[in-house]
Structure 1
Amino acid sequence: MTTINPIETRPLKPLFLSYLFPAMIGMLLMSVNILVDGIFVSHGVGPTALAGVNIAVPIFSILLSISLWVGMGGATLFSISLGEGNKVRAHQLFTLSFLTMLAVVVTLIMVLLFNLKDIAYIFGASDATYPYVKEYLHVILLFGVFYTIENLLSIFIRNDGNPKLAMLGLMTTSIINIILNYLFIFVLGYGVTGCALATAISTILGMSVLCLHFFRDQCELKFVSKFFNWSDLKKVFAIGLPSFIVEASMAIMIILYNITFLHYLGANGVTAYAMVNYIHTVLLTIFLGIGMALQPLVSYHHGARLMKRLIVLLKIGIATALIFGLSTTVVATLFPSQLIALFGDSTFEIRNMAVQGFAHFAIGYVFLGINMVFAEFFQSIEKIRLATAIMLLRSIILFIPSLVLLPKLFGAQAIWWTFPVSEGITAFLIFLYIKKKRKKFLLN
């Protein structure tokens, strides 16, 4: 007798919301860890240390991008397999994804540790900031494998029908990180090293919470001995590529922004951007959370061939992205000084530069949500070229020319317009594509 999964019959709006809020809160809390690091370092160590940690963030992001690449690729295939009723393949895909990610991350960490100074200077470090970059990254890299395991497990646990536990694990990490940051920086005076230790310890504890999922009766995350398949490995990397591009391109964008601000506005410009970037990192993960909520549902429905419900899910995702995008832009443009005030220890010139810049920068959030939803949707139904094209357009193809040309044509202040211009053009191109293909794009 075949049992019908409740996902196939439950009304889509409440179903989506049951995934949306845990996913958004979980992703928000993950980014809050980075924001908390910035706030505590800014107030407890100083603006130069803040700039150093901001330079280190892209290197840290590379590890996250690997876990997203393998995690999202494997989890998408995992959910499709469950939708098809093939639990054996689902178990194989989880095992393959977990062990593949470990192998890649451990190798990458070794390379980074042995070439830390050269890599830091390539990423924009100076003689003033490098000591802080080294201090922060040395600890982060040593414990980086736990961070990537936590991220991969949260993705798979969400796909295995337990979004609340995925949120709880990330919530544990965030709360403990705040407590330990205060203790290590302000009470014990460990400086940037204390900040990194807080991140490492809180991540291990959050990962431990996620492991509770393995004791659940309905758990389909099972390790099996026969799991390796070249075809599946290629599919994992292919389907996860757009997620990798999101995070890896974020690292590239930060590096290019740092170089551009340093060229046009000097060290003060880099510090002002660091303030804006910490806030942007938090806001970006809110929109990633919408995609994270959509992905398990879309992948399952795709595997079960429930096409009408797929179209409804896409419409719900777009509407949600528009609401959050417009709301975020309005709040960020009306209250930029209040947001920048979180980083209080800076000169008036730096703070004013950040406030004015963020008011322009924030217009991009109107388009960001739409772009992320469409990319996640195409990725979840195995249309990898479309998803990859969207991510490359917004982060590389349109971003780099905009970053080079805008300040040359309109002055240094136009650097802040790079984000809204690249996101806006990407959204317009998606609109043209959907208008041309209409409903047929699901079947092409």
Structure 2
Amino acid sequence: MTQSIGQKFTPFTLLKFALPSMLMMMLMSCYTIVDGIFISRFLGDTALSAVNIVYPVVSILLAIGIMLATGGSAIVAKKMGEGKNAEARSDFSMFAATGVLASIVLAVLTLLFLTPVCRVLGATDALLANCRSYLGTVILFAPACMLQSLFQSFFVTAGKPKIGMTLIISAGVTNAVLDYVFLAQLGFGVEGAALATGIGQMIPAVVGVCYFFFIKGDLYFTRFQFHGKTLLLASGNGASEMVTNLSNAIITYAFNQILLRLVGESGVAAITIILYAEFLFNALYLGFSMGVAPVISYQYGAKNDGELQKICKICRRFVLFSAIIITICSYFLSEPVVYLFVGSKNETYQLAVEGFSLFCLAFLFSGFNIFSSALFTALSDGKTSAVISFARTFVFILLSLMTLPPILGVTGVWLAIPVAEFITLFLSAFYQWRKRTIYHYA
């Protein structure tokens, strides 16, 4: 691994190293979108709305997994940069075991209180049956979802990003094929989509467990002792990523409630389509940040200031350049993307196209904000990362939702995230400038 993330990078080799993570995240977003397309096309807007209603529970699961993955991988990569390989393996094993245990606890609690959870999240009488069916099925695969989240980061830390990408491709193809079989051929309903997702997640989970148990590379499972301080450090360091997903759960709930009040269930279906599209376009930034984070952590741990500065400069240029391209592409692809879900120019289609043509302005700013948060996570400055992430994904969006819709109506809903990303841009720039002399990345 040290020869991989510790090498001298050029712009080309850094992008090449990060490419598997970028493709992996984009493919993950694609097979999440495939679920939405099949549900919308074969089961209708009501089923699509139901899936979005209960998605906050999945967001909580992902929040824990991504927190342990990003915060833990920063610690593991840093220790390997310091030459503490045995400690790194022990910590990695502890993070994986903790994540699986947490996923089991969440799954049991969800199943015990399935109907109350759906009701609290906003399920109406028309949506309740589909909410119960989807959530009750997908939560059964919580450990697989957790391990998939962990292995996304740790395959990169192990210097094997291509293995992680291959597993995600396999999971995505499996999910898409099973979506067709379960929904189009067998008529399983929303539980079929949940089952397809869960079976797809089993592939990277099972193969990842086998790999880290039996392949004795630089990073593998070992016996470990539980170190609460290390776990807390990883949790604090990865708090920004956890905050992002927990905030997504709350913000999704807020969007759903506001749109139910303004335009009804078609509005919930429209925002579901837009949020799927956001996941797709932001996946490039998320994957890039995930790919370069272990490199930054390693160089920081090895105290290679010159290499660290060069890497961060490459990252900023890539993010700023790609932001312009992604914004333009997303604007012109708004109608084709929405049509994939809806298939006809009904009320949901019109709302989603109108919304996405405004919403895509967020991509001008989101890349820099995502990278800024990931940068400080990689530098083990979880506090700063969490401040940026919390402001970006919760505070500024919630303030926008409280102020814009009363003035602009539905248009204010679509502009809430672009406005939040724009404000966060100044916060991200401030922290990058302020911390540059502390961590020597600029």
TM-score (norm 1): 0.95
Determine if contact 2:342/2:348 at 8 Å carries over to the other structure: no
Secondary structure of the corresponding residue to residue 398 of structure 1: helix
- Cα deviations by residue, 1:188-223 (Å, 9 ceiling, x for unpaired): 111111111111112112323334533445242222
Structure 1 match to 2:221: 222
Equivalent position of 2:310 in the other structure: 312
1:278 is matched with: 276
Task: Give me the whole-angstrom Cα distance separating, in 2, the residues matched to 1:319 and 1:124.
Answer: 42
- 1:15-164 aligned at under 5 Å gives the runs 15-164=13-162
Change (3 A) 1:32 1:270: same
Report what 2:436 is aligned to.
439
1:340 aligns with 2:330: no
CA RMSD of aligned residues (A): 1.9
Task: Give CA deviations for 1:40-62 in whole Å, capped at 9, x if unaligned.
Answer: 01111111111111212221121
Q: Decide whether the 8 Å contact of 2:138 with 2:194 is kept in 1.
A: yes
Query: Could you tell me whether the CA contact under 8 Å between 1:46 and 1:345 is conserved in 2?
Result: no
The runs of 4+ residues in structure 1 deviating greater than 4 Å are none
Q: 1:169 touches 1:206 (CA, 8 Å); kept in 2?
A: yes
Between the aligned partners of 1:53 and 1:438, the Cα distance in structure 2 is 41
Q: Secondary structure at the match of 1:128?
A: helix
The amino acid that maps onto 1:26 is M
Distance of 1:4 and 1:403 partners within structure 2? 46
Q: Identity over aligned residues, as a percent?
A: 28
What letter corresponds to residue 151 of structure 1 in structure 2?
A: S
Partners of 2:4 and 2:68 in 1: CA distance: 27
* Aligned pairs for 1:260-275 within 5 A: 260-275=258-273
Q: Mapping of 1:318-357 within 5 angstroms?
A: 318-345=316-343, 348-357=346-355
Amino acid at match of 2:148: E
The one-letter amino acid paired with 2:359 is F
TM-score with structure 2 length normalisation?
Answer: 0.95
Q: CA separation in 2, counterparts of 1:194 and 1:434? A: 45
**Residue in structure 2 matching 1:360, options 347, 358, 361:** 358
**Partner in structure 1 of residue 297 of structure 2:** 299
Q: Which amino acid aligns with 2:270?
A: A
Deviation at 1:19, TM superposition (A): 2.7
* Cα offset, 1:286, TM superposition: 2.1
Task: Confirm or deny: 8 A CA contact 1:7 1:15 kept in the other structure.
Answer: no
Q: Distance in 1 between matches of 2:24 and 2:155?
A: 12
- Where 2:8 maps in the other structure, the secondary structure is coil
Q: Which moved more, 1:168-177 or 1:226-235?
A: 226-235
Q: Describe the shift of the 1:397–1:4 C-alpha distance in structure 2 as closer, same or farther (beyond 3 A).
A: closer
Q: Which amino acid aligns with 1:415?
A: V
- 1:292 counterpart letter in structure 2: M
Letter in 2 for 1:41: I
CA contact (8 A) 2:392 2:420 kept: yes
- Supply the distance in 2 between the matched residues of 1:398 and 1:344 (Cα, whole angstroms): 30
CA shift for structure 1 position 24:
1.0
**SS of the residue 2:263 aligns to:** helix
Higher mean C-alpha deviation, range 212-221 or range 189-198: 212-221
Q: Which amino acid aligns with 2:422?
A: G
| Separation in 1, partners of 2:424, 2:107 | 34
Number of residue pairs matched? Answer: 440
Whether the aligned pair in 2 keeps the contact of 1:28 and 1:286 (CA below 8 Å) is yes
Provide structure 2 residue ranges, at least 5 long, that are not aligned to the other structure: none
